[in-house]
Structure 1
Amino acid sequence: MLPGPWDAASAVAFAEAGHAALATPSHGVSAALGYADGACPAGEMFAAVGRIVRAVADREVPVSADIERGYGLPPAEIVERLLATGAVGCNLEDTGPDGRLVDPERQAEWLAQVRTAAGPDVLYLNARVDSYLRGAADPLADALARARRYVAAGADCVYPLGAPTDDLRVLAAELPVPVNAVSDAGSPAPGELAAAGARRVTFGGSLALRSFREVAALARGLRET
């Protein structure tokens, strides 16, 4: 279970609560920096990840980073900039800049280039599979086909975002790597996801958004005093 810190202070809070690893959410980090989801410039995202990593380095809490689809950078530069932050892994998604699923063979080739640039044991590569998010005609079949290609390309984990628990069971049984699931306001709790076969649970931007709502309530309360 990897909570998603959006800044250094939230990373410290999760680490102090005893969480052994963290996974930054691009949505939460973007919102904290004043950007819409998907609109944060690469430099600001990598800088934010670096601050989060630094904040928990003395506690030896590893951090994985959601870097969307790499911001159009060449694979070698993605790896170089990610390693410079101190992150130990990353999410890479298969939704293109047009909001559509990338051809799975092309995505697999790109992931293979990232893996080659990183080396075999340097970065934990979590390949997001957006078959459910983008409305594939048969999302389970599409997710399985994509995930198998991505694993062959060097992915250490696959992340079928939005897969229902029944499909998670199939994916977990059929694939030779761990399956990542998301637990947010509209999803099952981590325990239920684990029972369905998920071995890695993240939270997307939901924890950040919850915090921002609490700050908004605090701000309104101050106005009323």
Structure 2
Amino acid sequence: MDSTVQKEKAERLRSLHYGDNMLVLPNIWSPLGARILEKKGYPAVATASAAISAALGYEDGEKIKRATALDVIERIARAVDVPVTADIETGYGESLSELEETVFQVLGTGVAGINIEDGLEAGGALRDIDEQCQRIALVRRAAAARNIPLVINARIDSYFSSSFSTREDATEDAVARARAYSGAGADCVYPMGPGDEDTVRVLKNRIEGPLNILVTPNAAPLAVLQKLGVNRVSFGPFIFRSCMRKFADIADSIGRGGDYWCFSDMMSRAEVEEFLISGAE
């Protein structure tokens, strides 16, 4: 992708965090999903690492190779004209030099933004705040070296960590990390958590700058999150899992030798082709 175009997309993505309308990102895992959202008027699209990994048959947590993840991300970025923000998990590299190489390769896919997280393992310890700040600052420098104002969304896993025995303790840690990460160069902070109205209100009141909230099945409605001043919402793997439930139900129906009710509300071939490229790869 032309660097001028990529820079413009990054600037456009950043501006979407400051508009009157909350940036809503139903996370996708394929170019087709990205095209559907673009056609339906979404101003940007975001990938979900868990959905991409699962679609390829692997668990989340950088179980697929970096090259594999980047290939999918690049295909998605090339598929649409709107900005794409990519979930790169912890950055595919423990050392700063490995992380820097990941950033350069990610920039080569044409994306306008990234998610980078501080969790070291599911439900376990988090990376030290100072160390994570070094990593975020490195991402900012690496992007600046390529003259791309990459939008950095710093994910905070305090609420998922076993290190905190109460919701209040997790909130204190999340707020401290949010402030530190913003100071290190993050454009938006993403304290992954329950998304309930009371917790979101506390986070919004105590964190300056754009706030990203995960929409879980039990989270506050979008209208409430908008009213609270949330800047961005993500859906993580929940849309993917909902689609997989539909697929599993179809498989069960066929396996029982039932009728074809499961195809009654499918897209027609013409409707699908509306989102496809007619030429060859």
Q: TM-score, normalised by structure 2?
A: 0.74
SS at 2:108's partner residue? helix
What is the root-mean-square deviation in Å for CA atoms of aligned residues?
1.8
> How far is 1:97 from its partner?
4.5
Instruction: Give the 5 Å matches for 1:51-200.
Output: 51-56=75-80, 60-72=81-93, 74-97=98-121, 99-119=124-144, 122-135=149-162, 136-137=164-165, 138-163=169-194, 164-200=196-232
Asked if 1 retains the 8 angstrom alpha-carbon contact of 2:92 and 2:99, the reply is: no
Amino acid at match of 1:28: A
Deviates most, 202-211 or 158-167: 158-167
Asked if 1 retains the 8 angstrom alpha-carbon contact of 2:44 and 2:84, the reply is: yes
Amino acid at match of 1:185: P
Give me the whole-angstrom Cα distance separating, in 2, the residues matched to 1:128 and 1:195: 22
Give me the whole-angstrom Cα distance separating, in 1, the residues matched to 2:252 and 2:79: 30
Asked if 1 retains the 8 angstrom alpha-carbon contact of 2:197 and 2:225, the reply is: yes
Asked if 2 retains the 8 angstrom alpha-carbon contact of 1:62 and 1:87, the reply is: yes
Give me the whole-angstrom Cα distance separating, in 2, the residues matched to 1:222 and 1:10: 26
Structure 1 segments unaligned to the other structure (5+ residues):
none
SS at 2:73's partner residue? helix
Q: TM-score, normalised by structure 1?
A: 0.92
> How far is 1:149 from its partner?
0.6
SS at 1:169's partner residue? helix
Map of 2:276 onto structure 1: none
Give me the whole-angstrom Cα distance separating, in 2, the residues matched to 1:132 and 1:198: 18
Map of 2:238 onto structure 1: 206
Higher Rg of the two aligned structures:
2
The Cα offsets for residues 199-225 of structure 1, whole Å up to 9 and x where unpaired, read as: 100100101111111112222233324
Structure 2 segments unaligned to the other structure (5+ residues):
1-23, 259-281
Give me the whole-angstrom Cα distance separating, in 2, the residues matched to 1:149 and 1:105: 8
* Aligned length in residues: 222
Q: Equivalent pairs: percent with the same residue?
A: 40
